[in-house]
Amino acid sequence: MRTRRSTDALHSLAEILLHRRRDRHARGRFGRRRLRSATTIAVVLLAALATARLVGEAAALRSAYGTRRRLPVARADLLVGHVVGAEDVDWRDLPVALVPSGASPDPVGRTVRAPIMAAEVMVDQRLYGSAAAGPAGLMEGSERAVAIERDALTPAVRPGDRVDLLGGGARAATAPLARRARVLAVDERSVLVAVTATEAVPVARAALDRTMLMALVGGG
């Protein structure tokens, strides 16, 4: 409001001075000097008017979008299980009003737990702890990790996939020993899965006895 009043006053004063210039056009040398002075003042006032308008527009933008904050943004699509490197991150200054909650202060070295799209702000909810901690850094506090030996019936899985673990083996599969267990790591010999504390004992026993079938769950 104060900025608008100031700009209106400057605009009115500039119009008055320009009007006087037209009225004094034929008044001789002294009049011409005064006209030049009035013209100079009018130009200065118009410049001040333009500056005031720009300042007002900048203030309006700050009011609408707030201040900016430096945030990590994915350079490309990142899949589940990918360990974030410095080359995966762009740091951009974004309006605080548009910042999602839980934005990660430093995603480098952490593991993707849910897909992150290119140009998306990296948030803690999509990332596990430091990859330097190994599988333990990928687990929730109440989870247990169990290694299951791979065989010809083991589906092609990757970190982040969800699997059901069925007791009884391929010929006599019974009720699931674990539902939607999360795959932590995969190598040529075994699949490491995260299960609940309650599921850990029967799953480990079936893994040792090789009486368990792994079924990939759709939808991740």
Could you read off the pLDDT tens digit of each residue along the chain, which spans 220 residues? Answer: 555 555 555 556 556 555 555 555 545 555 556 656 666 776 666 776 677 677 666 666 666 566 888 999 999 999 887 889 999 999 999 888 778 888 898 899 888 888 899 999 999 888 877 655 567 777 777 889 999 999 998 999 988 889 999 987 656 667 789 999 999 888 889 999 999 999 999 999 999 988 889 999 987 5
Could you tell me the pTM of the whole model? 0.51
What is the predicted pLDDT for the residue at 142? 84
What is the predicted pLDDT for the residue at 72? 94
What are the CA-CA distances from residue 100 to residues 71, 88, 112 (Å)?
A: 10, 19, 17
What is the predicted pLDDT for the residue at 77? 95
97, 66 contact by CB (below 8 A) = yes
Distance CA(177)–CA(204), nearest Å, equals: 10
What is the predicted pLDDT for the residue at 171? 62
What is the predicted pLDDT for the residue at 138? 73
Its sign, for the CA torsion 161, 167, 168, 174, is negative
- The DSSP output letter for 157 is -
What is the predicted pLDDT for the residue at 113? 80
What is the predicted pLDDT for the residue at 3? 52
What is the predicted pLDDT for the residue at 38? 62
What is the predicted pLDDT for the residue at 17? 53
Q: What is the pLDDT of residues 205-214, one digit of tens each?
A: 999 988 889 9
17, 41 contact by CB (below 8 A) = yes
What is the predicted pLDDT for the residue at 218? 84
Q: How is 46-106 classified by DSSP, letter by letter?
A: HHHHHHHHHHHHHHHHHHHH--EEEEEEESS-B-TTPBP-GGGEEEEEEEGGGPPTTB-S-
